């Protein structure tokens, strides 16, 4: 699609131009740029910022941000870059972990893994090239069914505060979601989540019965004390962006800090009615 076609189909072309100018010229604070989406990989910036913000509000001094499905590694490097500026805002150490087979997509298990769209071996990683570029992230290589099971014992990570899910398959995403069953000390009471493959187009036809959406439905069906909920406020914001439809939050209702107050103190309303 050419530039003219993109402009004609862009739902908010003026906002897109403004975001581009703000990003290029470096106008405003990092938080302002995040709020209007004038950063690269704004979905990742959102995860990192809000994980650190919640961790700080709850009294944690460190938090983990996970990426399931590293592929080429660009997303992991952007997580590193966003963590650098977010740590200047909140006194929270951000740990970054990237999960991947390192060999591309494995064999699909059944129809829920969308064989009509994905092939074994897709999104293979150049491990040597990526390892040479990583500055602070940790690669967790192997089948996610195994690495998610041994993750805490092997790496002793900070409590999980945000997760990017981009494993493409239903079966792999189900395995990744098992991390949300960890004991409370290894996870925040609310976890910010991005799911990459939930919108697509007329080829993918993502739905609630296959792929990542089916994994979300399955977690909610099988869990009583924790649920994944769509983050409804994002699409209602003035600076709406497409990725706003790909953000969920895990709510761990039995977490001892779930009810800890982290909101604004100035919520009292005065009677100031005037005729």
> Which one is predicted more confidently, 241 or 137?
137
Q: Which pair of structure tokens corresponds to residue 58? A: 């709850």
| Least confident interval from 3-12, 86-95, 164-173, 204-213 | 3-12
Measured in whole angstroms, the distance separating CA 30 from the mean position of its chain's CA atoms is 19
| The residue to which tokens 């977490």 are assigned | 255
Question: In the prediction, which pLDDT does 24 show?
Answer: 66
pLDDT of residue 140: 98
Q: What's domain 39-252's superfamily in CATH?
A: Vaccinia Virus protein VP39 (3.40.50.150)
What pTM value is reported for the model? 0.90
Work out whether strand 247-252 and strand 187-195 pair parallel, antiparallel, or are unpaired.
antiparallel
Contact 134, 83 (CB under 8 A): no
Higher pLDDT, 158 or 28: 158
**pLDDT for residue 20 is more than 80:** no
What's the CA gap between 2 and 109, in Å, rounded? 38
Cα separation, 186 vs 198, whole angstroms: 27
CA distances from 229 to 184, 194, 270 (A): 19, 11, 33
> Averaged over 110-125, what is the pLDDT?
97
Residue 237's pLDDT is 84
Beta strands in 47-202 (DSSP E): 62-68, 93-100, 138-141, 160-165, 187-195
Each residue's pLDDT tens digit, 39-57: 789 999 999 999 999 999 9
Region 1-6: mean pLDDT is 54
Q: What is the mean pLDDT of residues 139-161?
A: 97
pLDDT value at position 118? 97
User: Looking at residues 170-186, what average pLDDT do you find?
Assistant: 98
Residues 200-218 pLDDT 10s: 999 999 999 999 999 999 9
């Amino acid at each position: 699609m050419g530039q003219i076609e993109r402009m004609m189909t862009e739902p908010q072309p003026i906002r897109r131009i403004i975001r581009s100018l703000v990003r290029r010229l470096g106008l405003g604070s990092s938080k302002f740029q995040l709020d209007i989406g004038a950063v690269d990989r704004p979905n990742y910036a959102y995860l990192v910022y809000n994980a650190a913000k919640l961790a700080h509000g709850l009294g944690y001094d460190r938090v983990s941000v996970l990426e399931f499905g590293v592929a080429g590694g660009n997303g992991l490097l952007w997580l590193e870059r966003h963590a650098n500026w977010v740590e200047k805002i909140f006194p929270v150490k951000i740990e970054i972990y990237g999960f991947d087979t390192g060999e591309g997509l494995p064999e699909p298990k059944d129809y829920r893994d969308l064989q009509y769209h994905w092939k074994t071996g897709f999104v293979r990683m150049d491990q040597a090239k990526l390892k040479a570029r990583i500055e602070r992230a940790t690669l967790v290589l192997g089948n996610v069914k195994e690495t998610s099971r041994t993750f805490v014992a092997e790496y002793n990570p900070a409590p999980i505060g945000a997760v990017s899910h981009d494993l493409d398959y239903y079966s792999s995403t189900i395995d990744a979601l098992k991390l949300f069953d960890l004991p409370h000390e290894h996870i925040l009471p609310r976890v910010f989540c991005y799911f990459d493959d939930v919108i697509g187009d007329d080829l993918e036809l993502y739905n609630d019965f296959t792929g990542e959406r089916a994994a979300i439905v399955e977690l909610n069906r099988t869990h009583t004390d924790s649920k994944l909920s769509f983050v409804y406020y994002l699409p209602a914001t003035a600076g709406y962006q497409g990725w706003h439809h790909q953000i969920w939050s895990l709510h761990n209702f039995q977490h001892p800090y779930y009810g800890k107050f982290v909101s604004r103190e100035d919520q009292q309303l005065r009677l100031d009615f005037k005729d």
